Every structure is written in structure tokens, then in C-alpha cells.
Structure 1
Amino acid sequence: MTWRMPAETAPHERTWMAFPREGFTLGESAADREEGYAAWTAVAHAVAEFEPVSMLVDPTEVARARDLLGDGIAQVETPVDEFWMRDHGPTFVLDADRPGVLGAVDWIFNGWGDPEWSEWRKSAEHARFIAELVGAELVTSTLVNEGGGIHVDGEGTVLLTETVQLDPRRNPYADRARVEAEMARTIGATKAVWLPRGLTRDYDDFGTNGHVDIVATLASPGRMLLHRQDDPSHPDFEVTRDLRTQLSQETDAAGRAFEILDLPAPAEIRDDEGFVDWSYVNHLVVNGGVIACGFGDERADAAARDILEAAYPGRTAVTVDARPLFARGGGIHCITQQQPAVAR
């Protein structure tokens, strides 16, 4: 078996999500909870304009999900605690030696390093649950990892972050060589590009410790989209400048230097909790479209759409307000997981 993770730009069968349930992440007040439900629902409806969406729903949320999602989104009842599907759900792969065979990598999920606030044990079962639902072969792994911690170009290149895969709370005995070997076995990565760190806000107590999918992504082989913070008073000004310097010297699996396209951050740099990590990099590519994060900055949101449509020719970029998602620790890419289409 030779498993390979397709690029996000490859055709999708559908997108998977998990509906929020009451608890710490959703928020304490009724207004907070309604905002969270509305944000997940808005993303689901935006994706559903381009491709089918399947939503895992906790038994306590079935009625609400039915009311908010409507009939156009498939709903599957199963226990849910965390609802960041990118991270706890399966990473889908295809078998290069067996056309038509779908695989599902089941990384070990421990709630981003098992912090005290995280509730993750129910959702850690979702990869196996979804694999069985769709008839995918389960690809088990001993690596603690999340889907938001990797990005691939579909041709052997994977982006990783030292503070994620080498996090002692996740993989205390891992080193680069072991992580790279597991990436080769599970997703077919032959070249790992390591970022030394992620964005500043992501190292708060409720962050992921440096997920790459808020910093950089591979729009196509040899072409990288990179977050850029232009305000010198924001700590990510230096972070993104240093990352650009490093990544401009890296090569992909084919030996190509990366063409780096900047995705400038919106003008707002702070919220009630401190410096924001609002990033247009955290978008989802879908069949014929791109679901882009919006931050209430019309000029920056429009500029991001233009950059994304140029980076993904033939696709229409649609903006969804992602501020309620980022306030809870992630973005549009974090709450979605694409299932690639397989040859019939």
C-alpha cells in the first residue's frame, strides 16, 4: 500500500464538520452560544453551495442542528465534545497502487496536548467512526497530530511546525526523523518543510501551539500562500517576516524553490484578549470555490478574495465572517475536513 494525501484542490466527495455542543468552547452566555452555533452553520451553508456537507451531531444538539442546518446538510448523530473537525477527524488518503481505494488516517488526538480545559475523548473516536461510515480503510498512527498541523501539495511535500509535532505534550519521544518517517508512511510525504513556530496568539492557553494552517498553505506545487502582518507593533510582524526569509530558502519535494504569495492580515490587530491571529490563510478550498475567512474589514477581505482567486484559478472566493471562530480558537479550515473523490 502506498498512501498519498491529495492536495486540497483535488476533487472532493464532500466536506465533514461537527456541530457545536454546549460547553467551554461554545461559550458561557446565551449570546455566546448563539453566536457559535450561527458561525458553524454559516460555514456549513457556504460549503454546501459547492459540495455536499456531512455534519456529526451530538445527541443533545439534534433538534437545534435540524432547525439551523435544514434539509440540505446530512446530519449524523454521534457523541461530540470538541468540534474542530480538521484536528480530531480523519485525514483522508488515497492508495496509489489501488485506484478507487480510500484511506482514513487516525492520528492520536489528545486535545492539542491535553490541556486542563480540553474535552476531547469523544471526538477522538470520530476518525474511526467516519472511516466506517464511508467505507475507508483505517490507517492507524502512533503519532499525536492534528489535521490543522499539516498542509500538503499532493506531490510529496508537507508543511510541519516544530512546536506542534515535536511538542513534548504531544510526542515526548519524537524527533524530526521519526515524524518524517510517519508522514511518509501515512500520507506519502517525501519532503518535510519545518516551520520553527506559528503565530503568537496560537501559544496562548487555548491555542494549538503553532498550527501551520493559520500561517502557510500550498496553493499548488511550488506555490505557497503566507500570512503577512504589516503592523510593526504586532508581534507577528517579526514572526511572519522571519518565516518568509526562511521559507524563501526552502524547496519542495521536486526540488523547486517556493513562489511565495503574501496574504496580508486585516487592519485590526487586537481584541479583548490581546493581539489577534486573524489570518486569511485559514481558508477551505472546495469544488469550484474557496471559503474565505472574513474579519469585518471590507478592503482587506476583498483583497484576500482577489489573491485567493488568483492563486486558485477557476474558483470563486466567498467570505464568511470568521471572527466568532477565531474567538474560540480557530478558523474555517479548522472546523472542516475534505473527503477526496475516488475513481469509480
Structure 2
Amino acid sequence: MAINQYILPAEWHRQSCVQLTWPHEETDWLPYLDDITETFVQIAKAVAQYESLVIAAKYPERVRELLEDSLSDDEMSRVSIVECDNNDTWARDHAFITLVPVLDNDTKAAASDASGAEAGQAPCRLLDFRFNGWGEKFAADKDNLINSTLYNKGVFHGERVDYDDFVLEGGSIESDGRGTILTTSVCLMAPHRNQPMTREQVEQTLLERLCARKIVWFDHGQLIGDDTDGHIDTIVRLCPNNTLLYVGCDDESDPQFADLKALELQLQKATDADGNPYRLLKLPMPDAIYDEDDRLPATYANFLILNGAVIVPTYNQDANDARALELVAEAFPGYDIIGIDSCTIVRQHGSIHCLTMQYPEEVCR
């Protein structure tokens, strides 16, 4: 089958499933395990209403019992639970990054006239980059093996590509499905990632391995308390119709004000691979949330796109939550918008998108 190239699809590309990696008492969630487990149940139920869900779990039977108490039979029929040990639960960063094949016009026409196996496309490419705990900050040996474990158990279908020679987390990149990748220099050039590679060498690696045409770098926007060194999915998100939802700050007394203003200026000048500017929608900054004296990186940008729905983090802040949900709805017309309280998630410095990874059609069957 002739293939011009592969492409990293946009998150709103039709999906086959979403992955969660479940918390347990041997993870950092122990002090509030009951609360985070309830949040995971809510996320699982929301996902299973729209598509299949794959759960990597150290204790699969416990998870099954929990979900059977909260999900309908129809929802449970879409859930697969696979035994898999884990250090932590941030599937966005340890899961596969998946490329889909792009067919040339002649092959598309032939496939549309064919049936059965003859119409099947080339396999997706499951890119297995190294996860090293966000620059060796945290243990990641078990998390870095989750992809091979799930793949070897037949959970995911496609061609597994071993890129263990390069550190890349799913939360550090955003794709529009047309060859443009967004990322941040503060993350990809942070210590203990891919040194001594230069920014130019990192960019060339991304272009080649993600089959991209342009890398758009942002140099600002790292939220206070962010362990990831500035993942793009906490500050700027790609949406349909060349729209960007991004985190803004209007409070000049906020220590993040100047940096987020600098990010906004970069966004105003940014263009995609075809030279088109972006339509910008500014999300509110949640009122500061603290764990004792430490500010937590609460953000509305860390939402998950599903088939026909978007799950958005909320923080028990009525006005800010409502405005964020309104803006996400504006960016995703026709989608159901679902808010899920993320106050417990952010205690471990992440949110809903960080906990999940979507897979395009043909990967989960």
C-alpha cells in the first residue's frame, strides 16, 4: 500500500480508546488515595460514555470491582483492565505517541472501492519514547515499561517503534494533524532530557520522528509548581479551525503575570506550517491554589478531547470554572462539555490531560 507519509493526528481525530494508569497505595497518591480514586472513577465513567477505555492497573480486580459499582453494564463493556505495574499515573507522558498513515490520492480511491481486508490501511506507528520522570526527578522504571507490557499483551495494534534513545513526553507536544507541532523550549531543553543535543538537533529529531513540517517553539508560560518544566498542555492547546486555547493572566500582582504576557505576545505572532495565524481564546487563570505554602499549577488548559466530548478540569471556583467551560465550548462547537473537579489531581501537580492518553482509530480493537 502506497503511503506518502505518517502524521501525528490532532487530538480531535477519531479515537479508538483512551488509556488511564490507575493509582494505588504504592504511589504518591497514598495520602489521599480515596479522593483520587473517586476522581479516576469519574474520569473512567465520562470516557466510557463515548469510547473504549484501557486501564493499566497493578491491582486489576480491585479496579474492576470499583468500576462495576459506578458504571453501567454498557459502559463497562467498553472497559479493558490490564495488569501492569506502575510508579505513578501520568499516562500522557509514559504512553505511546501514535502516528497514523496518510495515503496518497490513488490509494485512497482504491481503498474506497475495496472491501474487507483489501480496504485496510497500513498500521499506525506506536512511538515508544523514553520516559525518565521529567528529567530524572522521580522514579520511572516501571512506567517506562508500561508500553511494551500492554503491546506484548495485544492491547494495542500497530507497529511499535522503539525510540528509547530520546526522551519525549506526550504532554510536551501538541499537533494540529496537518504537520504543525507546538512545544516549549523550557521543557525540551530542560536538564536531564536529551543533553548534549542542541535545540536545532532536538527540532530535527522531532520533525523526522513525528513526520512534521514545522515545530513552533514557545519560550514562556511555565506555571509555578509545574514538575514537568513547562509542558505545552498546561498552557496552550490546539483546537479545530486553527484555534488556540491558552492560559492568560490579568492580575498584575500575580508572579506569573509577566511570563504569561510574554507567552501571549509569542502566540499573537505564531503561524502554522502553512503560514496561517491562529485564532486566540484566552482561558482564565484559576485563583491560586496552595498545598500548605506551595502554589499548585492549576490550569484549565489541561482538558481531554474525546469523540464528541471534552472533559475539562474545574477547581470549585464558580466564575472561573464557568468561563473556562464556556470558552472550551466555543472552541469545540457541537461537543459535549464535561467538567470534573480536579482539586485532588492538582495536589500532585497535574490535571486531567496529564492522566490520560488517547489513541486513534485502528489501535484499540
Same fold (TM over 0.5): yes
Q: Which residue of 2 aligns with 1:56?
A: 56
Q: Aligned partners of 1:230 and 1:47: how far apart in 2? A: 33
Q: Which residue of 2 aligns with 1:68?
A: 66
Shift of 1:36: 1.9
Which range moved further: 97-106 or 44-53?
97-106
> RMSD value over aligned CA atoms?
2.0
* Equivalent runs, 1:190-339 vs 2, <5 Å: 190-203=213-226, 207-220=227-240, 222-339=242-359
* Structure possessing the higher radius of gyration over alpha carbons: 2
Q: Which residue of 2 aligns with 1:78?
A: 84
Q: Which residue of 1 aligns with 2:93?
A: 87
User: TM-score scaled by structure 2?
Assistant: 0.86
Q: Which residue of 2 aligns with 1:148?
A: 171
The Cα offsets for residues 311-330 of structure 1, whole Å up to 9 and x where unpaired, read as: 01110110001111111121
Question: Which amino acid letter does the alignment assign opposite residue 53 of structure 1?
Answer: L
Q: Is the 8 A contact 1:156 1:191 kept in 2?
A: yes
User: TM-score scaled by structure 1?
Assistant: 0.91
Q: Aligned partners of 1:189 and 1:325: how far apart in 2? A: 32
The SS at the match of 1:200 is: coil
Q: Which residue of 1 aligns with 2:112?
A: none
Q: Aligned partners of 1:227 and 1:42: how far apart in 2? A: 25
The SS at the match of 2:224 is: helix
Gapped regions of structure 2 (runs ≥ 5): 108-120
- Determine which of 80, 96, 100 is the counterpart of 2:102: 96
Gapped regions of structure 1 (runs ≥ 5): none
Q: Is the 8 A contact 1:152 1:158 kept in 2?
A: yes
Instruction: Report how many residues are paired.
Output: 334
Structure 2 residue 4 is matched with structure 1 residue 6: no
Which range moved further: 77-86 or 96-105?
96-105
Q: Aligned partners of 1:238 and 1:271: how far apart in 2? A: 23
Q: Aligned partners of 1:111 and 1:258: how far apart in 2? A: 32
Q: Is the 8 A contact 1:90 1:131 kept in 2?
A: no
Shift of 1:21: 2.1
Q: Which residue of 2 aligns with 1:167?
A: 190
Question: Which amino acid letter does the alignment assign opposite residue 149 of structure 2?
Answer: F
| Percent of matched pairs sharing the same residue | 29
Shift of 1:100: 4.4
Q: Aligned partners of 1:194 and 1:21: how far apart in 2? A: 36
Q: Is the 8 A contact 2:88 2:143 kept in 1?
A: yes
- Determine which of 105, 118, 123 is the counterpart of 2:127: 105
Q: Aligned partners of 1:39 and 1:227: how far apart in 2? A: 23
Q: Which residue of 2 aligns with 1:187?
A: 210
- Determine which of 139, 161, 168 is the counterpart of 1:139: 161
Q: Is the 8 A contact 1:202 1:209 kept in 2?
A: no
